[in-house]
Structure 1
Amino acid sequence: MENRYNESLNLRCRYCMNKLVALFIIFSPLCAADWRLNSDSSHLSFVSIKNGVFAEVHRFKSLTGGVNEEGDAAVRIGLASVETNIPIRNERLKSMLFEIATFSLATVNSKLNMSDFISLPPGASLLALVPLNINLHGIDGKIPASVKVTRSSESVWHVVSIQPLILDASNYKLAAGIESLRAIAGLNDITTVIPVTFSLEFTRS
């Protein structure tokens, strides 16, 4: 009996350690960030399309993140901060789609060539294709983002999507949640293909 208890305890300890290591890998760029994301000046929006013709824009109010000198970039999206301008719909998205009790965050990570951005003089911009690693609803995915990077001042950079990212919710096991939302709202259809746009401001510390 004692051996079985010890074995079970060891398994739980190893599981907890693996989770801690994973969290450290995800959040270490944020802890050592040389460029901090300015949440109040940053925006991330997505569009839902209903019955094939009605489109509505929603957003997330909680964005945190940063970039370190080595070019490790990370952005965390608080899924509980989703804002659709209809309170009951906010709650449905949190519980039925994102399942925030289990998946409270979405994360976006990338590896950047910082020399391209640091060398920009204030007021100058460049276009870049940035590879993004997305973790949403416990699923990892990759997508390239076409962005415009502007150095607004000596210490501030803006990163703006120049075309929408197209996410297929079914790739992140969100299709069932979308179907539940469709049914409860009495709609004929909610598309699983979701355009996403963003405007991010980073300040160098």
Structure 2
Amino acid sequence: MFVRVLLLVSGLWAGLAHAGLTLDGSRSSLHLVSTKNAAIAEVHHFTALNGSLSAQGDVRVDIQAESLVTHIDIRDQRMKEHLLEVAKFPVLSITAKVDMVAVNALAAGEQIQFEQTIAVTLHGAEKSYQLPLRVTRLADGAIQATTIAPLVVNLADFQLLAGVDQLKALAKLNSIATQIPVVASFTFKDSKPR
């Protein structure tokens, strides 16, 4: 009897250890705000996000730089070519290690808030941030992680100032802010087929 129970627990543990969640791109978003000429703020977003949350708490979200939408075609093209340099850096990514004990303890509708260390890789450079997050277990069992406050990204940390200067010249602008507020909401769903 003991052996059967031990085998059952071992099998369960093996299943949990290999279980993982996949980013649901249709329920996830990443928005940023740019400011030009010190007074005009505009919201942009990315449409192609994918990623995973492992049973061990390893999070990775990849954002396709080509999917940036600014709602002005020529600006989309210029930002992708001169700022993000998508031909050289097609993907920007966010990685983190989360406490899965706390996440797995959430019942549907429950949420927790905590400070999370994340690493952002953009334009060939990486920087770590402390970010306040709200994590919620949704009714369908999915996990949603949302920023509580905007993350302010300094473009200088990612060697993007030369690209900003090019954009200013092309658009004949007096200024483009180099501190960019970013907000995100990522939903991870069961990756096992039903």
With normalisation by structure 2, the TM-score equals 0.87
Please point out which of 141, 154, 157 is paired with 1:155. 141
Identity across the alignment (%):
34
Shift of 1:157: 1.3
**Correspondence 1:36 to 2:36:** no
Residue 92 (structure 1) aligned with residue 78 (structure 2) = yes
1:29: which partner in 2? none
Q: Indicate whether 1:55 and 2:54 are aligned.
A: no
CA shift, 1:83, in A, is 0.1
Q: Note if contact 1:76-1:105 (Cα within 8 Å) is conserved in structure 2.
A: yes
Looking at structure 1, the residues matched to 53 and 83 of structure 2 have their Cα atoms a distance apart, in angstroms, of 29
Which stretches in structure 2 are left out of the alignment for 5+ residues? 1-17
Matched, 1:175 2:144: no
Q: Any gaps of 5 or more consecutive residues in structure 1?
A: 1-31
- The question of whether the paired residues in 2 share the 8 Å contact of 1:33 and 1:67 is answered with no
Conserved? CA contact 1:33–1:66, under 8 Å = no
Give the partner amino acid of 2:70: T
Q: CA deviation at 1:33?
A: 6.8
1:198 corresponding residue in structure 2: 184
Q: CA RMSD in A?
A: 1.1
**Partner residue of 1:119 out of 94, 105, 122:** 105
TM-score (norm 1): 0.82
Deviations 1:37-66 (A, max 9, x none): 000111100000111111000000010001
Q: How does 1:124-135 map to 2 (within 5 A)?
A: 124-135=110-121
Q: Which residue is 1:166 aligned to?
A: 152
Instruction: Say whether residues 1:65 and 2:51 are aligned partners.
Output: yes
- Could you report, residue by residue, the CA deviation over 1:158-203 in whole angstroms, capped at 9, with x for unpaired residues? 1111100010001100011011101111111001000000111111
Output one character per residue of 1:104-128: Cα deviation in whole Å (capped at 9) or x when no partner. 0001111111011110111111101
- Greater CA deviation, 146-155 or 74-83? 146-155
Question: Aligned to 2:38, what secondary structure does the other structure show?
Answer: coil
| Length, aligned pairs only | 174
- Aligned to 2:50, the other structure's residue is in SS state strand
